[in-house]
C-alpha cells in the first residue's frame, strides 16, 4: 500500500536533484571580489575603455605612433592597496604571472568560464581549489589601488557589468556627448559648413562612473558601452541609416580593430607618452563614426548628424549637429581624403532588443 507513494517521493527527489544540478551548471551572477561582497564598489575602468601606450612624447609626434593600443578586457574595481581579494566563483587557481591569477570554474559550474585577477600579490598555490568569498587569493598590489577583474566565457572576454554577471550593480549616470569632429587632409575642420569630398567623422563621448572613484582617478571618464550614428534630412527622413560605431555591451572586437572603433587622438586616463606619464589627466575618447565618408553620396544641402551613446544598463544621451554638403560640379574638392580600397559597407544598426541596453 505504501510502495507507490515512496516511489513517487523518490522520483520527486530525483527531479529536484536534477534541476539543482542543471541550475548549478549554468553561469550565474556573482558578487564582488572585495568586501563587502554584496555591496557595489567604485569602478575606475570600464570594459572597452581605450588602453594606449605611445612610444614617443607629445612634442615628438606621439599621437602618430608607434605604440600599443588595446581594448580594456575587464573592469578596474577601486580598493586600497593591501585589500584582500577573493574569488567571485569557486574554482582552481592558476598563475599567469607574478601578480595575475586565473580561476578556472569549469569543474564547479559545468561550463567553460574563467575569471582573471590582476594587480594582486597572490598567496594561494598553483592548482589550489579556491572557494568564492572564503579563500583569500591575495592582496591588492601597491601602488595600483584596484583589482582588475576579467570574465572569460569560452574564448571571449565578456562585460562583467551586463545583467546577470557582477552583482549588485546599479548605474543611473548618462554618457556625455561633447561634440562631433569633422576632418579631412588639412586637419580638423573648424565648421561643418560646406563639406565636400571625403571626410572623417568622429565623436568625443564619455561616460561617468556610477559611484565616485577615490584617489587620482577621481572625476576621470570611462567609455560608454554603445555608440551609433545616422544622418537625416531636416524633415527627419533617413539619408544614412543607423550604424554602430562601438558596441561593448557583451563582448569586444579584437585589438587589431582598435582604430576602427577609436579615432586617432584617443588616449586613456593618466596617459603615457614616451617616458612621461600625465597622472590625473582625463582620457580623451574619440569614437570613429566614419573613417572615409563620401559626401558626394548626398545631394548638396543641409543635413543633421545624429549620435546616440549608451551604457550597458541603457542610460543614453543623444546629440544632433547640422552640417551642409557643398560639392562642386567639377568634382574637385581641396583636402578630400583619398578613396579607400573597395570594401563592403559598414553594418547597419542591429535590431532593437538585440543586446543589453538595446
What is the arithmetic mean of pLDDT over 303-328? 97
Inform me whether the pLDDT recorded for 4 exceeds 80.
Answer: no
Inform me whether the pLDDT recorded for 57 exceeds 90.
Answer: yes
Inform me whether the pLDDT recorded for 266 exceeds 90.
Answer: yes
Do 153 and 188 lie in one domain? The reply is no
* Cβ burial, residue 278 (10 Å; 0-12/13-18/19+): middle
User: CB neighbours of 128 closer than 8 A, spacing ≥ 6?
Assistant: 92, 93, 135
Question: Residue 312 domain-assigned?
Answer: yes
pLDDT at 347: 55
Do 181 and 303 lie in one domain? The reply is yes
Element (H, E) at 274: none
Residue labelled with grid coordinates 544621451: 317
C-alpha span between 205 and 63 (Å, rounded): 19
Mean model confidence pLDDT for the chain: 90
Final residue of a structural domain among 124, 158, 192: 158
Confidence of residue 152 (pLDDT cuts 50, 70, 90): very high
What is the arithmetic mean of pLDDT over 223-230? 98
Question: Residue 96 domain-assigned?
Answer: yes
Do 188 and 144 lie in one domain? The reply is no
Do 188 and 309 lie in one domain? The reply is yes
- HEC string for 109-155: HCCCEEEEEECEEECCCCCCEECCCCCCCEEECCCCCEEEEEEEECC
C-alpha span between 283 and 253 (Å, rounded): 20
Say how many domains are in the chain. Answer: 2
What is the arithmetic mean of pLDDT over 234-262? 98
Question: Residue 272 domain-assigned?
Answer: yes
CATH of the domain at 67: 2.70.70.10
Length of the chain: 358
pLDDT at 343: 55
Confidence of residue 122 (pLDDT cuts 50, 70, 90): very high
CATH of the domain at 259: 2.70.50
pTM of the model: 0.88
Element (H, E) at 94: strand 91-97
C-alpha span between 154 and 150 (Å, rounded): 13
pLDDT at 173: 98
Question: Residue 261 domain-assigned?
Answer: yes
C-alpha span between 206 and 49 (Å, rounded): 10
Confidence of residue 332 (pLDDT cuts 50, 70, 90): confident
Domain extent at residue 298: 176-325
Confidence of residue 26 (pLDDT cuts 50, 70, 90): very low
Do 119 and 200 lie in one domain? The reply is no
Question: Residue 6 domain-assigned?
Answer: no
What is the arithmetic mean of pLDDT over 207-234? 98
**Lowest model confidence (mean pLDDT) among 60-64, 83-87, 253-257, 288-292:** 60-64
Please answer whether residues 227 and 206 qualify as being in contact, where contact means their C-beta atoms are separated by less than 8 angstroms: no
Do 201 and 153 lie in one domain? The reply is no
Do 106 and 215 lie in one domain? The reply is no
Do 137 and 52 lie in one domain? The reply is yes
Do 81 and 222 lie in one domain? The reply is no
Question: Residue 353 domain-assigned?
Answer: no
- HEC string for 212-223: CCCHHHCCCCEC
Inform me whether the pLDDT recorded for 253 exceeds 90.
Answer: yes
What is the arithmetic mean of pLDDT over 230-250? 98
Do 152 and 181 lie in one domain? The reply is no
User: CB neighbours of 222 closer than 8 A, spacing ≥ 6?
Assistant: 43, 44, 45, 46, 49, 206, 207, 208, 209
Do 204 and 97 lie in one domain? The reply is no
Which tens digit of pLDDT belongs to each residue from 186-196?
999 999 999 99
User: Which residues face 146 on adjacent strands?
Assistant: 78
pLDDT at 348: 58
Inform me whether the pLDDT recorded for 112 exceeds 60.
Answer: yes
Amino acid at each position: 500500500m505504501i510502495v507507490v507513494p515512496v516511489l513517487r517521493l523518490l522520483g520527486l527527489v530525483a527531479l529536484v536533484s536534477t534541476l539543482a544540478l542543471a541550475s548549478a551548471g549554468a553561469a550565474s551572477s556573482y558578487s564582488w571580489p572585495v568586501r563587502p561582497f554584496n555591496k557595489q564598489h567604485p569602478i575606475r575602468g570600464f570594459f572597452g575603455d581605450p588602453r594606449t601606450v605611445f612610444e614617443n612624447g607629445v612634442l615628438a609626434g606621439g599621437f602618430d605612433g608607434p605604440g600599443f593600443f588595446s581594448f580594456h578586457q575587464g573592469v578596474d574595481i577601486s580598493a586600497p592597496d593591501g585589500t584582500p581579494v577573493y574569488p567571485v566563483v569557486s574554482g582552481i587557481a592558476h598563475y599567469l604571472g607574478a601578480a595575475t591569477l586565473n580561476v578556472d570554474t569549469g569543474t564547479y559550474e559545468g561550463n567553460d568560464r574563467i575569471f582573471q585577477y590582476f594587480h594582486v600579490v597572490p598567496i594561494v598555490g598553483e592548482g589550489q581549489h579556491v572557494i568564492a568569498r572564503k579563500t583569500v587569493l591575495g592582496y591588492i598590489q601597491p601602488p595600483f589601488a584596484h583589482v582588475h577583474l576579467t570574465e572569460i566565457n569560452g574564448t571571449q572576454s565578456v562585460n562583467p557589468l551586463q545583467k546577470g554577471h557582477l552583482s549588485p550593480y546599479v548605474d543611473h549616470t548618462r554618457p556625455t556627448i561633447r561634440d562631433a569632429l569633422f576632418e579631412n587632409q588639412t586637419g580638423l575642420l573648424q565648421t561643418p559648413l560646406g563639406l565636400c569630398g571625403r571626410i572623417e567623422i568622429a565623436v568625443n563621448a564619455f561616460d561617468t562612473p556610477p559611484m565616485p572613484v577615490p584617489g587620482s582617478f577621481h572625476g576621470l571618464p570611462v567609455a560608454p558601452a554603445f555608440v551609433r550614428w545616422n544622418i537625416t534630412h531636416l524633415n527627419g527622413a533617413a539619408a544614412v541609416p543607423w550604424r554602430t560605431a562601438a558596441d561593448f555591451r557583451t563582448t569586444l572586437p579584437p585589438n587589431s580593430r582598435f582604430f576602427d572603433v577609436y579615432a586617432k587622438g584617443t588616449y586613456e586616463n593618466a596617459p603615457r607618452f614616451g617616458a612621461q606619464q600625465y597622472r590625473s589627466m582625463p582620457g580623451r575618447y574619440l569614437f570613429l563614426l566614419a573613417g572615409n565618408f563620401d559626401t558626394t553620396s548626398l545631394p548638396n544641402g543641409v543635413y543633421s548628424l545624429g549620435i546616440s551613446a549608451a551604457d550597458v544598463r541603457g542610460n543614453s544621451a543623444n546629440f544632433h549637429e547640422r552640417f551642409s554638403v557643398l560639392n562642386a560640379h567639377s568634382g574637385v574638392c581641396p583636402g578630400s581624403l583619398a578613396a579607400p580600397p573597395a570594401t563592403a559597407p559598414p553594418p547597419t544598426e542591429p535590431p532593437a532588443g538585440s543586446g543589453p541596453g538595446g
